[in-house]
Amino acid sequence: MRRTKIGKIDLDTFTSFLLPRLGKSDETVIVPPKTGVDAGVIDIGNDRVLIIAEDPIFAIPQQPLEMFGWYTVHIGASDVAVMGVKPRYMTYSLLMPPETKEEDFRTIVDAIHRAALELEIAIVGGHTGYYPGFAAPTIGGVTVFAVADKHGYVTPAGATPEDDVILTKGPAIETAGILSVIKEKQLLERYPQSLVDKAKALCKQMTVVADALLAMESGGVTAMHDATEGGVIGGLFEIASASEVGMEIHEAAFVYPDEVRMVCEAFEIDPIAAIAEGSLLITARPNRSNALVHKLRAAGIDASIVGKVIDDVGKRIVERRDGTIAPLEIPGQDPFWPAFFDSL
């Protein structure tokens, strides 16, 4: 049967097909692949662990290749940072169409280098080449990893009842940033240039490295998760599912930038269901959560407490801004992808 869904495979396929096919079982794998868990964890002895994550990265039409390089590093690094650990090493595979210009190749590699320097990450390997079948330069995979103390990391499975739930930046950061770039002309027919420019600037917020490391530094964090495909509602479901807890979330408490509202309104996208790289979900002990939010805001990262972790596993809900109640769940289709491909 031909599938039409765009984006990640569905949860049922992941659980029933992929998870039973993970090669050899190894007792040193402490955190194996799980839905909603951003990185794997391997026990390397001496009370130390290796934390490792991988992502593909696609170039965004109408954006400078410098941003493609920046995304490569920051999106990969974010998946290690949400484990509460500073990213340290990376590899990447840059796959390009044969007709790629030499100057474009050099621009991408220079941008990756600069972003890695910015985050103090060493590039230790990878692959670079030209291949037919690619319409644009593509990162087949960026792998970011770090070594940490065995008890010095968190996972999305660590949320506990009574924890506060915190969201940084608001929902749909990636959705608003990317669509404002590729659909700028359409937006300018209805909205002022200043607001569209603010939306385009969100592309530079498509990272949670600083958010996550500041949160860990503040203390009290029990779980973190990068709200990528499936948006905030999907990310919350994944934390609740991994942690075997319930959640009560209030959309009215979200940080909601005007530029996010604009883009989602213009293209009839539910902001809490749309891809949200840059939106970090945090659960934290209630006696530390206010200080954590204050620390983030002091660093220029807006954040708010949006709900509570509860012990009733059967109750995972979000109260929408209009007062209706919806279940936390992974959307069947992230609404960003149809809007994105419709413009190409």
Query: What pLDDT, on the 0 to 100 scale, is given for residue 304?
Result: 98
Start-to-end C-alpha separation, the chain: 25
Instruction: Return the number of other C-beta atoms located less than 10 Å from residue 54's C-beta.
Output: 17
The CA-atom distances, in angstroms, between 259 and each of 50, 71, 221, 255, 287 are 39, 21, 29, 12, 32
Residue 34: its pLDDT value, please? 87
- Count CB atoms within 10 A of the CB of residue 319: 16
Rounded distance between C-alpha atoms, residue 91 and residue 145, angstroms? 9
Q: Residue 137 has what pLDDT? A: 96
Q: What is the pTM of this model?
A: 0.95
Q: Can you give the C-alpha Rg of the chain in angstroms? A: 20
pLDDT score at 3: 52
**Alpha-helical segments (H) within 6-151:** 11-13, 65-81, 102-118
| Residue-level pLDDT at 1 | 44
pLDDT per 10-residue tile (average), the chain, 344 residues: 70 92 96 90 98 94 94 97 98 97 98 98 97 95 97 96 98 97 96 98 97 97 95 97 97 97 97 97 98 98 98 97 96 92 75
Domains and CATH numbers, the chain: 26-149 (3.30.1330.10), 164-342 (3.90.650.10)
**Strand order from edge to edge, sheet including 138-149:** 29-31, 40-45, 48-58, 138-149, 89-96, 122-130
How far CA 247 is from CA of 218, 266, 315, 330, in Å, comes to: 23, 30, 6, 15
